[in-house]
Amino acid sequence: MSASAKINQTQKLIDDVLSVYPEKTRIDREKHVKPNDPSDCSTCAVKSNVKSRPGVMTVRGCAYAGSKGVVWGPVKDMVHISHGPVGCGAYSNWSRRNYYNGETGVDAFGTMHFTSDFQERDIVYGGDKKLGTIIDEIDTLFPLARGVSIQSECPVGLIGDDIEQVAKAKTTEHGKPIVPVRCEGFRGVSQSLGHHIANDAIRDHVFEKAGTEIEMTPYDITIIGDYNIGGDAWSSRKILEAMGLRVIAQWTGDATLAELANAPKAKLNLIHCYRSMNYICRYMEDTWGIPWEEYNFFGPTKIYDSIRRIAAKFDETIQANAEALIAKMKPEMDAIIAEYKPLLEGKTVMLYVGGLRPRHVIGAYEDLGMEIIAAGYEFGHNDEYKRTYPLLAEGSVIMDDATPYELEQFTKALKPDLVGSGVKEKYAYHKMGVPFRQMHSWDYSGPYHGFDGFSVFARDMDMTVNSPVWGLIRKPGTASVAAAERVAS
Amino acid sequence: MPTNDHNTLFGQPEYVEQFERKKEFENGSSAEEVARVSEWTKTEEYRELNFAREGIVINPCKACQPLGAVLAALGFEKTLPFVQGSQGCTAYFRSHLSRHFKEPIATVSSSMTEDAAVFGGLSNMIEGLENANAMYKPEMIAVSTTCMAEVIGDDLSAYIKTAKDKGVVPDDMPIPFAHTPSFVGSHLTGYDMMMRGILTDLAGAKADSTDGTLNVIPGFDGYSGNLREIKHILGSMDVDYRILGDYSDVVDAPATGDYDMYPAGGTTLEDARQAIDAEGTIALQRWSSQKTGELISKEWGQEFVAGPYPIGVTATDELIGEITTLTGKPISDELELERGRAVDSMVDSHPYVHGKRVALVGDPDVLLGLIGFLLELGARPVHIVATNGEKKFKKAAEALLASSPFGADGTVWTKKDMWHLRSLMFTEPVDLLLGPSNAKFLWADTGTTFVRVGFPLFDRHHLHKRPIIGYRGAENLLTDIVNTVLDEMDRTSKNTASFDLIR
């Protein structure tokens, strides 16, 4: 079967864009950038989760970012030590906006930066002794902290420190979980391995160790893989509670250690960010037979669908609640669509985000009449891409570990009306005059999840796509032309 | 229809009730226990425990070396910063600088992983230089290191030579380097090391006579406005100068519809090559120019002056005096006028600043400048915290405090962090806090009036474009301080007779 014209056209564009690379890099990049074929075409799949090319600007981060930055950092009643030199903690501090309730520095620690601030002597003599001292000091200064995690930075694994031994001894001494996490930044190819390592650390050091007594009900569920960016998990929890379900643990946005430990008591694990937490869901399924279900609370279409799929796992009471909730919320959602769709209908979007959102937010954009014409993941694996192909139109651009150069070239060629990516990309788009939203941090807005999030999402996309400021941008030297046009009109 | 985002949404009763319900599963401490511990953290007893710590550093006010190396490199025309080591570091430098400057930051990594940890980073550097050169066509690649490359002992000099021998980059392309381990010094050290590396690499043979010019090294300065201000001062004095590492235009590029990864601006390589023949060099910051200063004074045999970082009138007077000494050019009428205006403003505003007790946190040169400025205004610096301050800084700051009766209450704390400062501010309260955005948590905890100054400035827009150095910078800083004090006065007096229209 011959490829469609649309696919051929996109392939030609991709070839043009990649032609600038040295041969070895070009051949490598060709495997990561493809025209989308929504049918199940094994040769059309992009290669993913492999090393970035040295010297080619990548948007990716590291395993530490995946563990401390994503999975562990939001656990609010623990102190997370950035173990190693000062930088990693300085740059990641409170950059992900994992909202939480609690008194910072007293019973919650989310916005704080704890570092062992390695000096040369720690590299030479090892940091284990200092780590022991640090854990004692944390116990003295922060008595309400329920535990400590040790987030390893690169040198820890290179100098042969035995943080596991220190953690074990101090767990016994203080009677609180001290969790060693081997998330040194050089491990793996992106944040992704850090997620996995962090999941494993929860499995090994929290499960069956730090649980508390809770009375069980048939409606106990968890939220897994929602980091409460701008309050996402809270607006999601609102929906689940309205369905009559009881959320016994929220991972890890606004989470506590007890919530991590108690998750295996749930009847069903609900997972939002599949990429960062599928590992622990699979473990709970394999070990205790707890089923898990992916859901998507971006935009009403996906929210209704997810609500119904979740309800189907429970009894008629929950199913009736679900329908009642949808019936109650639909007019409100329709009103939002009625307000914003006329402003956004037909606008095209290019997305380049982490490991989940490029596929998860498609429905929300479509609810507003917008179309995704290119999408890519920083650190997705095969399973993300497989889930993405059917959601996108034939011939849209699929890119893995895209470089800023590729993003710029695709932007120039495809002329999207909106680009969604991260802070490192954002300001280049401002120079280019292309409307841009940060789709990691919600541009300091949010929530975007849930019914309450959709109105914020719609407002934000509209304000950026339709802001008058873009119209002021002009190329130097064109002022006289512009003046002549003004006179002519 | 009004939209409720996080700012208003979560205060609604249904969310407040949700948060209450969630507590059932949190295993949190009781409200009484939290209140008790919260009060305890504000006590003298806690302060003693806090200052007794030897291991953990909490909310430090410093970053690591390669961040400074990247900023130094960005100051040279068509220069690509290249960081040898794990790629996550480079992602962090780029996002950190982007959050501060609100600008794209182009920097590449050699993306080293486990195999490089075992075999070394040579092949990453060779492939990295080849790709970077082919794709980004820089005129110069400035190489610095992350702690990974330093721990495994990557030999930059040999690696770069190997890359050139293999022909992956042109033999004549300047590829300066600096070893910038994160476990030594701070971002200031990294700036210094990279600046030294670049100048070492570019400098040609020294001519027999000087060309009469003055080199100026801005230092790790979060304010692009400061770089423009020093150029204004030098221009006004008719000094024949060159800025070494002028990133003012690189981190403040116009929106024109095009993205240029090398925005117009930056010190040209040709200009940098001639720096060795200058009459002398002034570094505005003493603590980000120590190694570069050694190069210039010892190896180049040039007059080298470090500082003062010209925050406030006196420090600006001194800096201009240094420029005059080196160049023979006196202060201009224009600058004299600016000085007069700044002093006039200070006279007008002094009643709202005089006697105010102030806590300060930031980089050493910024702190020295701020201490001097506060003393000029009759304010009283009380707690001065420099996480990356050294003994010599402490001595210099103490000498400055001792020079004025308003400095009598000041204590200089080096190697201390913002959690120490929290204890200081609870046990010995102050009226005003000056520091970077990260200090906002101290504002939240202690309720102390807060003026953002320093690096990074993440949560207020465009402050970095306004200078805080020079006479005009003094006026900006004064305006920020006095109006923040007045805003606070309005907030606290709004339901009283003291809510004045005219201040």
Q: What is the pLDDT of residues A42-51, one digit of tens each?
A: 778 999 999 9
Do A228 and A201 share a domain, yes or no? Answer: no
Q: What is the pLDDT of residue A281?
A: 98
Q: Which residues of B are catalytic?
A: 147, 151
- On average, the pLDDT of chain A sits at 96
Considering only the beta carbons, identify the residue of A154, A247, A262 that sits closest to B147.
A154
A240 domain-assigned = yes
Average pLDDT taken over every residue of chain B: 97
Give the mean pLDDT of A383-390.
93
Chain A contact set for B124 (CB, 8 A): 54
Query: What is the domain extent for residue A19?
Result: 1-60+345-444
| Per-residue pLDDT at A166 exceeds 80 | yes
> What's the 3-state SS for chain A?
CCCCHHHHHHHHHHHHHHCCCCHHHHHHHHCCEEECCCCCCHHHCCCCCCCCCCCCCCCCCCHHHHHHHHHHCCCCCEEEEEECCCHHHHHHCCCCCECCCCCECCCECCCCCEECCCCHHHHHHCCHHHHHHHHHHHHHHCCCCCEEEEEECHHHHHCCCCHHHHHHHHHHHHCCCEEEECCCCCCCCCHHHHHHHHHHHHHHHCCCCCCCCCCCCCCEEEEEEECCECCHHHHHHHHHHHCCCEEEEEEECCCCHHHHHHHHHCCEEEECCHHHHHHHHHHHHHHHCCCEEECCCCCHHHHHHHHHHHHCCCCHHHHHHHHHHHHHHHHHHHHHHHHHHHHHCCCEEEEEECCCHHHHCHHHHHHCCCEEEEEEECCCCHHHHHHHHHHCCCCCEEEECCCHHHHHHHHHHHCCCEEEECHHHHHHHHHHCCCEEECCCHHHCCCCCHHHHHHHHHHHHHHHHCCHHHHHCCCCCCHHHHHHHHHHC
pLDDT exceeds cutoff 60 at B419 = yes
Residues A317 and A369 in one domain: no
Position A452 in a domain: no
Whether residue A69 sits in one domain with residue A190 = yes
Q: Are residues A199 and A235 in the same domain?
A: no
pLDDT at residue A487, rounded to an integer: 78
- Is A112 in the same domain as A228? no
Q: What are the chain B neighbours of A143 within 8 Å (beta carbons)? A: 37
Residues A313 and A409 in one domain: no
The per-residue pLDDT for A3 is 65
Task: Output the DSSP codes for B378-434.
Answer: T-EEEEEEETT--HHHHHHHHHHHHTSGGGTT-EEEES--HHHHHHHHHHS--SEEE
Residues A115 and A142 reside in one and the same domain: yes
pLDDT at A482 over 90: no
Do A314 and A374 share a domain, yes or no? no
Does the pLDDT of residue A1 top 50, yes or no? Answer: no
In a domain, A236, yes or no: yes
Q: Closest residue of B to A255, CA-based?
A: B26
Same domain, A315 and A372: no
Query: Burial level of A470, CB count in 10 A (0-12/13-18/19+)?
Result: middle
Residue A316 and residue A383 in one domain = no
Q: What local confidence, expressed as pLDDT, does residue B1 receive?
A: 64
Helix axes B470-493, B224-236, angle to 10 degrees: 130
End of a domain among A149, A176, A205?
A: A205
Q: Do B128 and A111 touch (CB under 8 A)?
A: no
pLDDT at position A368 is 98
Q: Considering chain B, what percentage of its residues have pLDDT values greater than 90?
A: 99
**Are B183 and A155 inside 8 Å of each other by CB?**
yes
Confidence of residue A60 (pLDDT cuts 50, 70, 90): very high
Q: Are residues A92 and A196 in the same domain?
A: yes
> In this complex, which of B98, B136, B441 lies closest to A111 when CB atoms are compared?
B441
B383 has pLDDT over 70: yes
User: The CATH number of the domain where A34 resides is what?
Assistant: 3.40.50.1980
Question: Tell me, what's the pLDDT at A2?
Answer: 54
Nearest to A427 among B6, B103, B419 (CB): B103
User: B353: which residues sit within 8 A by CB, 6+ positions away?
Assistant: B374, B377, B378, B379, B478, B481, B482, B485
A62 is catalytic: yes
Query: Mean pLDDT over residues A197-203, rounded?
Result: 98
Residue of B20, B49, B131, B417 to mutate for A, most A C-beta atoms under 10 A:
B131
Which of B86, B123, B166, B418 should we substitute to test contact with A (largest number of A Cβ atoms within 10 Å)? B86
State CA B399 to chain mean position distance.
Answer: 23
| ipTM for the whole predicted complex goes beyond 0.85 | yes
Q: Same structural domain for residues A86 and A26?
A: no
Residues of A in contact with B29 (CB under 8 A): 107, 144
- Does residue A161 form part of some domain? yes
Residue A181 lies in a domain: yes
| A211 is a domain residue | no
Q: With cut-offs at 50, 70 and 90, classify the pLDDT of residue B2.
A: confident
pLDDT at B367 over 50: yes
In a domain, A463, yes or no: no
Interval B387-413 mean pLDDT: 98
What's the average model confidence in pLDDT over B105-134? 96
**Structural domain count of chain A:** 3
- Residue A339 inside a domain? The answer is no
User: Structure pTM?
Assistant: 0.97
Nearest CA in chain B to A113: B59
Check A115 against B38: CB less than 8 A apart. no
Facing A20 at nearest CB: one of B107, B135, B255: B135
User: Which residues in chain B touch residue A455, judged by CB atoms under 8 angstroms apart?
Assistant: 1, 3-4
Residues of A in contact with B92 (CB under 8 A): 61, 65, 87-88, 91-92
